[in-house]
Amino acid sequence: MSRVPRLGLLLLVLVLGADQLVKWYVTGPLDISMPGDARTLLAIFDLRFSPNVGVSLGLLRADSATTRWALVALTGTIGLGVLVWMWRERGRVDQAALGCVAGGALGNILDRVRLGYVTDYADLHFGSWEPFLVFNLADAAITLGVLVLLVRALLIRDGRNGRDRRDTTEKANG
C-alpha cells in the first residue's frame, strides 16, 4: 500500500477552500457579480467579474449544456489522473505541486457544475498592457503546480531514477 500524500492532500484542500472562499467574497460581499463589474485595488490589479465558459485562452468553449457537461467530464478525468499521480508520487515537492493542480482543478470544476461557468476575477495589467487573461486563485494554483513539476522534470531530476541531479554530479566529482 502506498504512503498517503499528506502534504498534497493538505494543499488540495487549502487551494480548493481558499479558491471557493475568494470567489464567494468577490461575487457576494463585494458584489462584483455581473459582466463589467470591477473594482480597482492597485494601479496594476483590478477585481473584474469574468464568467469563463471555456478553458485556458478561451479554448473548448462550453456554450451548451452538452458541451458544459462534456467539459466537466474531460476536466474531471484529468483531475482524477492528477490525483492518482499524486497518490503514487513519492517526492514531497511533487506531491505538493500535484495537490495545487488538483485543488485548482476541483475548484474550477465545482464552479462549472454549480454555475455553468468558472468565476474569474483577477485582472493583472500594466497600464493598457494586459499580459494575462482574467484568472482566479484556482488558475494560479494550477499554473504554479505545473511550473514546479516542469522545473523539477527538466532541470533537477535525473530521468533514469528520479534522483536529484546534484547528488549524481557530486558523487561523480567526488
Interval 70-120: pLDDT, tens: 889 988 999 999 999 999 999 999 999 999 999 999 999 999 999 999 999
pLDDT digits (tens, 9 = 90+) for 8-52: 999 999 999 999 999 999 999 999 999 989 999 999 999 999 998
**Of these residues, 31, 139, 158, 167, which one is catalytic?**
139
Q: How many Å apart are CA 140 and CA 145, to the nearest integer? A: 9
Give which of 84, 118, 77, 112 is closest to 98, Cα–Cα. 84
120 part of the active site:
yes
Which of 106, 43, 121, 119 shows the shortest CA–CA distance to 72? 106
- Kindly name the residue from 19, 94, 111, 120 that is annotated as catalytic: 120
- The region that residue 162 occupies, defined by phi over 0 for left and psi between -120 and 50 for alpha, beta otherwise, is left
* Predicted pLDDT of residue 3: 81
